[in-house]
Amino acid sequence: MSKSLKDVIPVGHTYIRDNVLEKDTLTGVSESKALWAKDLDLPKKAEYTFFAACGYQHMKYVEAMMGALKSAAKVGVGMGKVVGISKVFGKLGLDLTSITAKITASKDDPYTPVLISTVNILRKLGVEVGYLHEEEPCCGSPMYYAGFEDDYAGHARKNYEIFQSFGVRKLIGLVPACTAALKTVYPGYINGYDLEVQHLLEVVAQKLKETGIKPQYKERVKVVYHDPCQLSRYLELTDEPREIIKSIEGVELVEPDPEQCGKWSTCCGGGGLEATHPELSERIGVRRAEELLETGASVILSNCPACDLQLTRVTKKLGANVKVIDLVRLLDEALA
C-alpha cells in the first residue's frame, strides 16, 4: 500500500512546484519578465532592486487558467485531470494558459499596470530602483507552503546566487508573500544571507512623511482596506497602508469589525487555495466580501495580486456595486 506523492499532495501544488523548478514562474507561462518594464528604463544594477515577482504578471493567466479548469470541471473532467492535460499541452510546446489567455502583455489587464504604477510612485517620491528583468527568479514560495521544503531550499539558494551575481543588496518587494519569503524565510535556508528586504508600503509611507507630498484623488470616495494575510500577519504591516490611504485627500477610510481587520484580517481564500480547492476558496471569498461590503464602502482596496483577483471575482459574482482597486493604482493616480 505504498502511496506516492501524487496520492497525498493535491496535484495543484505539484503542478505549481514543477512550473517553478522547470520554468521559474508560477504558471509555467514563458512570457518574458522584462515585457512590462520595457518602456521604463530600469537598470539591472542599482542600490535598490525592485522585486516585481510573478504574481501581478501572471494573474491574468491564472484567471484564464481557473476559468478553463472550471469549465472542464463542469463537463466532468476532474481538477487533477485538467491540470494533467495542461502538462501534456506544455510538453507538446503548446502553452495552454497562453492559448486560453489571448491577452497581450501588460496593457489589457488590471494587474500588470500595478507594476508600472509601483515604479511611477517610487520615482515621484524620489526613489530610483533597478530591476533584474528576464533574470528575475521566482521566489518559489508556493512550493514552501505546499510543504516541498527540500525543493524550496535548493531553489532559494540558487536564487541567492543570482542576486549576488548582480550585486543585489537591497530589495523592495511588492507581492506580500514573496516579500515575506525573501525577508523571513530565506534566511533560514541560506547561510550568511545578507539581503535587506523592505516592502513597498514601508518605503512609501516613510517617503510620504519625509517629502510631505499630499496625494489627491480625482473624486470623493469611501474605501475599505482588505489587509492581505501575508502583509498583515507575516510582514506585520498594518499601520503603513492605513497611513498612506489616510494621506490621500478625497478618500475616506472605513473599517470592518475590529476582529476582522488589521492583524485579524479575515483571509479572502485566494492564492494557492484556488488551485486546489476552488469551491471552498469561493465560499471563503464570499464570506470576506460580505464583511467588507457591510462597511458601505464603494471601493475595496487591497495590495496583493491573489486578493485582488479573488475579491474582484467574488464581488462580481455577488453582483455587488463595488470596485476592487489595488492600493498602488489608487496612489499612483492620486500622485499624478
Partner 1 sequence: MSSPGLEELEKEITDNVQRCWKCRMCVAMCPTYEGWFTQSTAGRLMAINLYIKHGLGSEEELSTMLYACTTCRRCQERCRMLSTDCRPADTILKARQYLVKRAELREGRES
Q: State the virtual CA torsion across 270, 272, 277, 279 in degrees, nearest 10.
A: 20
The stretch among 129-137, 141-149, 161-169, 211-219 that binds partner 1 (CB under 8 A) is 141-149
Side chain identity, residue 48: Y
- The Cα 11–Cα 262 span in angstroms is 33
| C-alpha gyration radius of the chain | 20
Residue number with CB closer to partner 1 (49 or 230) = 230
* CA nearest to 62, candidates 36, 33, 100: 100
- The Cα 149–Cα 154 span in angstroms is 9
The stretch among 23-31, 131-139, 142-150, 324-332 that binds partner 1 (CB under 8 A) is 142-150
Q: Which three cell numbers stand for residue 109?
A: 489587464
Residue number with CB closer to partner 1 (44 or 277) = 277
- Residues in 232-291 that interact with partner 1 by CB under 8 A: 233-234, 263-267, 269, 271-273, 276-277, 280, 283-284, 287-288
- The Cα 18–Cα 212 span in angstroms is 46
48 binds partner 1 (CB under 8 A): no
Residue number with CB closer to partner 1 (150 or 194) = 150
Reduced to 3 states (helix: H, G, I; strand: E, B; else coil), residue 197 is strand
137 binds partner 1 (CB under 8 A): no
Among 42, 101, 229, 289, binds partner 1 (CB under 8 A): 229
Q: Shortest distance, CB of residue 214 to partner 1, whole angstroms?
A: 34
150 binds partner 1 (CB under 8 A): yes
Give every CB contact of residue 171 below 8 A, 6+ residues apart in sequence.
Answer: 48, 49, 50, 51, 163, 179, 182, 195, 196, 197, 198
Q: Shortest distance, CB of residue 268 to partner 1, whole angstroms?
A: 8
Q: Shortest distance, CB of residue 310 to partner 1, whole angstroms?
A: 11
Residue number with CB closer to partner 1 (121 or 229) = 229
- The Cα 260–Cα 262 span in angstroms is 7
Reduced to 3 states (helix: H, G, I; strand: E, B; else coil), residue 212 is coil
What phi and psi, each to the nearest 5 degrees, are found at residue 124? -65, -25
Number of residues that bind partner 1 (CB under 8 A): 34
Reduced to 3 states (helix: H, G, I; strand: E, B; else coil), residue 249 is strand
Residue number with CB closer to partner 1 (128 or 255) = 255
Residue number with CB closer to partner 1 (118 or 312) = 312
Under a CB-based contact definition with an 8 Å cutoff, are residues 297 and 222 in contact? yes
- The Cα 180–Cα 171 span in angstroms is 11
Q: Shortest distance, CB of residue 143 to partner 1, whole angstroms?
A: 10
Residue number with CB closer to partner 1 (145 or 193) = 145
* CA nearest to 83, candidates 75, 74, 73, 93: 73
Residue number with CB closer to partner 1 (40 or 84) = 84
The stretch among 7-15, 38-46, 88-96, 167-175 that binds partner 1 (CB under 8 A) is 7-15
Q: Shortest distance, CB of residue 300 to partner 1, whole angstroms?
A: 17
13 binds partner 1 (CB under 8 A): yes
Residues in touch with partner 1 (CB under 8 A): 2-5, 7-10, 13, 145-150, 229, 233-234, 263-267, 269, 271-273, 276-277, 280, 283-284, 287-288
